Structure 1
């Protein structure tokens, strides 16, 4: 078996990774939200990403064009219907789901979506 070349491996630690500001579909920066994207074969914001929400921030209202899957690493996130996702929770929101999320104390999530959501 051949060795893995440095160009064939990407490693990032969710605590120290170089997060980028999250930009919505209209090109505006969303305050308090940032992400690290690992696979550049997906559009920015899709694929497998680390997603960080600063304390007091909120995601944009959106509709999922595919299933969204996420795992809460740290903190808590509350959906617009009042459901609270806590550290350790794995969540799958199905295609067509409409929602937005808020966090009081901040949160870090691992997210996977195949394609970008539609802003509402």
Structure 2
């Protein structure tokens, strides 16, 4: 295998950009594409939420899954997720999330 067939991204070294995936730019949330196809919205990205950040409530047309890498994430029903937790939302799910102390998550979006 050659390096041309492999893509390497470092969550601690590469630059995260403005997060606007649910509408307006959210200054306390940033993201880094890992393998996201921006045309289809499917693939994987890392999302960093600063302490106190809240996502805009949204609906999932496809599957959304994420792995908590660092920190805490609280779902709209009050469920608290921490490092190592893997969460899967079915198509049609409506929710939002917030973090108390900040978090880093890997998000996987795939079609229904």
TM-score normalised by structure 2 residue count: 0.88
**Post-superposition shift, 1:39?**
2.6
Matched-pair contact (CA < 8 Å) for 1:24–1:30: no
Q: Which runs of 5+ in 2 are unaligned?
A: none
Identify if the C-alpha distance between structure 1 residues 25 and 98 changes in structure 2 by more than 3 Å, giving closer, same or farther: closer
Matches of residues 104-115 of structure 1 in structure 2 within 5 Å? Answer: 104-114=100-110
Rounded to whole Å, the distance in 1 between the matches of 2:22 and 2:65 is: 20
Matches of residues 1-120 of structure 1 in structure 2 within 5 Å? Answer: 3-5=1-3, 7-26=4-23, 28-39=24-35, 42-43=37-38, 46-114=42-110
Larger Rg: 1 or 2?
1
Root-mean-square deviation (Å):
1.7
Rounded to whole Å, the distance in 1 between the matches of 2:110 and 2:21 is: 17
TM-score normalised by structure 1 residue count: 0.83
Residues matched between the structures, number: 110
**Post-superposition shift, 1:46?**
4.0
